[in-house]
Amino acid sequence: MYCVLDIGGTNLRVGVSRDGAALQAIKIAPTPKRFTDGVALIQTFARQLTRDKKIKAVVAGMPGQIDQRSHRHSGAGNLPDWSGKPIAKTLSRLLHAPVLLENDALLAALGEAHRGAGRGYPIVGYLTVSTGLGGAKIVDGKPDANAFGFEPGAHIIESKKLQTLESLVSGAAVLRRHKKSAASLSGAAAWNELTRCLAMGIHNAIRFWSPDIMVIGGGLMKRIAMPRLQREVRNLFTQPRIPKIKKAALGDRAGLEGALIYLHQNFAVKKIDRP
């Protein structure tokens, strides 16, 4: 059995696969704010899903930066108690298996590039707009070379107050600005402004990454109208040809699907059907 984890700022997802090729079962719950509660819940879910069968390997995705040398995590503003904790080491001890820790948006990008809206495109740019805002660039089916991960949500959109894309467009930004969740936010003006700001971020990502396609996922895309977003992005360009901009296809499964791809690329897993 193989286990894949998507530890998001809002929800925790645990999936298992018998052969590493496809997900057999998934459990979902709100992500515990305390690290000790979170890893205990992961252990419980993994035991239930595997029925205590041996786990061969684990891939876990989390928001924020991942130090691949120390296997420690940092920078997830929505999960401060998890930051700096030895997550991979702790999970390896609890699940009795080797654990690879990676940025959750990168895993979702892999999922969309292999099995979702970006399938068939050599260079895929991916942004996810949920509790926070993340993303990654996938080239020929693998994460592009990078020194310390991808953090497109951290690039500065407004100079005077040094506002980042994530501080303007994310679930946390909606809650901070409007004092209500994105699910409760109504009014065309508010959503039009969010769409305009996101369009600027997509424009910049296209300029930085030069992808064949930009895939946009995350919970807020359930409320942002894709035709308007595409139009806003096109209006920012002077040249006639820009990459395709598509809504993500895998929904909440993107991170887990991407974790299976990452598992295949980084562990010696047999019988995996390459997309």
pLDDT band at 267 (very low <50, low <70, confident <90, very high): confident
What's the pLDDT at 158?
A: 81
Query: Is 28 domain-assigned?
Result: yes
Residues 190 and 86 in one domain: no
pLDDT at 275 > cutoff 70: no
Domain of 215?
A: 117-249
Conformational region of residue 78, where left means phi above 0, alpha means psi within -120 to 50, and beta covers everything else: alpha
Mean pLDDT computed over every residue of the chain: 91
Same domain, 240 and 261: no
Please check whether residues 64 and 187 belong to one and the same domain. no
Question: Are 30 and 144 contained in the same domain?
Answer: no
Residues 208 and 231 grouped into a single domain = yes
How far apart (Å, rounded) are the C-alpha atoms in residues 35 and 27?
A: 18
* Interval 53-66: pLDDT, tens: 999 999 999 988 87
What does the alpha-carbon distance between residue 118 and residue 56 come to, in Å, rounded to a whole number? 29
Q: What are phi and psi of 261, to 5 degrees?
A: -65, -45
Q: Classify the phi-psi angles of 187: left when phi > 0, otherwise alpha if psi is within -120 to 50, otherwise beta.
A: left
pLDDT tens by residue, 219-261 = 999 999 999 999 999 999 988 889 999 999 999 999 999 999 9
Whether residue 112 lies inside any domain: the answer is no
Residue 8 corresponds to which amino acid? G
Q: Establish if 17 belongs to a structural domain.
A: yes
93 with 124, same domain: the answer is no
Q: Do 66 and 135 lie in a common domain? A: no
Q: Per the structure, how many domains does the chain have?
A: 2
Same domain, 95 and 168: no
146 and 192 co-located in one domain? yes
Same domain, 37 and 158: no
122 within domain boundaries: yes
pTM of the entire predicted model: 0.92
Residue 109 lies in a domain: no
CATH number at residue 43: 3.30.420.40
- Three-state secondary structure of the chain: CEEEEEECCCEEEEEEECCCCCCCEEEEEECCCCHHHHHHHHHHHHHHHHCCCCCCEEEEEECCEEECCCCEEECCCCCHHHCCCCHHHHHHHHHCCCEEEEEHHHHHHHHHHHHCCCCCCCEEEEEEECCCEEEEEEECCEECCCCCCCCHHHCEEECCCCEEHHHHCCHHHHHHHHCCCCCCCCCHHHHHHHHHHHHHHHHHHHHHHCCCEEEEECHHHHCCCHHHHHHHHHHCCCCCCCCEEEECCCHHHHHHHHHHHHHHHHCCCCCCCCC
Is residue 108 in some structural domain?
A: no
Residue 145 lies in a domain: yes
Three-state secondary-structure class, residue 51:
coil
**Is residue 275 in some structural domain?**
no
Do residues 147 and 228 share a domain? yes
Give the per-residue pLDDT at 271: 45
